[in-house]
Amino acid sequence: MIVGIDAGGTLIKVAYTKKGEVHFEKYPIAEIEQVADWVNNLGDCKVCVTGGRSGVLVSLLDQPAQEMVEFEATHLGVQVLLEKNGTLEDAYLVTNVGTGTSIHCIQDNMQERLGGTGVGGGTLIGLSHLLTGVTRYDEIVGLASKGSRDRLDLKVKDIYEDKEPPISGELTASNFGQNLFAISDGLTKEELLAAVIGLVGETVSTVSVQAARQCRSSTIVYIGSSFIDNPLLKEVVTSYTILRGSVPVFPDNGEFSGAMGAMTAL
């Protein structure tokens, strides 16, 4: 059996082949010892580990494991997933919305990190919890998808009240920028959570579209577990990316790119 593991800041992603088929699993980082036990009990296998917590995982393994730089593993994994989808291009950007967000340009078969932002999946969970008390990721994204951010976000057209704005009036002028002092007690969890996802999605896509100017391509491949069961984040990122002239792509199993790349390297 060959096993690729991406131990990130929040989740451990595992890709492995069994009887010729690829399987994917994910675990919270708190279960890193259980993941190590699982590997230690596999018997004859090859393992490659990547991600920020790979050193911790390797120290828990009984057998030696190959280690791979996270960005290289992700690049390789994205390539494999896009090839499977039949959508692999010569050049593209990869935006990995993990705990934090990292942006890469892939061209001439090389990856270069263009930048990132600390606004990512960790922000999504952390701010959501502080604003509403909700703890579970699935509950956060479920409630958010039922909410509207109209009462929280200030649009360009709200500022240019009786005038034609110089840019699209539909763009967000200020996330959480409405006069909230007057209505803060009456906002629902759904509205607050939708506004958090709006903030994360618009930040991530705005930074990505700007980074695309340093890359030959305007295709942006969005990956990372922050998109799992999160249609609202996908919708915000899709519409903002298209509005700014780029093309968003969400590959199937994109959150397993790092694990897939690590497995493929073996």
Report the catalytic residues. Answer: 70
What is the C-alpha radius of gyration for the chain, rounded to an integer number of angstroms? 20
Site for ligand ATP contains 52 (CB under 6 A):
yes
Q: Of residues 4, 5, 7, 8, which one binds Mg ion by CB under 5 A?
A: 8
Binding flag, residue 98, Mg ion (CB under 5 A) = yes
Closest separation in Å from C-beta 69 to ligand ATP: 13
Secondary-structure percent of the chain, ordered helix, strand, coil, rounded to 5 = 45, 25, 30
Whole-angstrom distance, CA of residue 250 vs CA of residue 22: 19
Token pair of 127, please? Answer: 């701010």
The yes or no reply on residue 122 touching ligand ATP (CB under 6 A) is: yes
Kindly tell me which residue out of 4, 98, 147, 251 binds ligand ATP, with binding defined by CB under 6 A.
98
From Mg ion, ligand ATP, none, interface partner of 264 (C-beta below 5 to 8 A by class) = none
Draw the binding track, 170-199, toward ligand ATP (x: CB under 6 A; -: no contact): ------------------------------
132 binds ligand ATP (CB under 6 A): no
How far is 96 from 50, CA to CA, in rounded Å?
15
Instruction: For tokens 């001439």, name the residue.
Output: 108
Query: What is the closest distance, in whole angstroms, from the C-beta atom of residue 109 to ligand ATP in the complex?
Result: 23
Cα-based distances in Å from 171 to 49, 160, 166, 175, 218: 41, 12, 11, 10, 20
Q: What sign for the dihedral angle of Cα 181, 184, 185, 186? A: positive
Residue type, 252: D
198 binds Mg ion (CB under 5 A): no
Instruction: Please give the residue ranges that form the binding site for ligand ATP (CB under 6 A).
Output: 8-11, 28, 51-52, 98-100, 121-122, 124-125, 137, 224-226, 228, 255
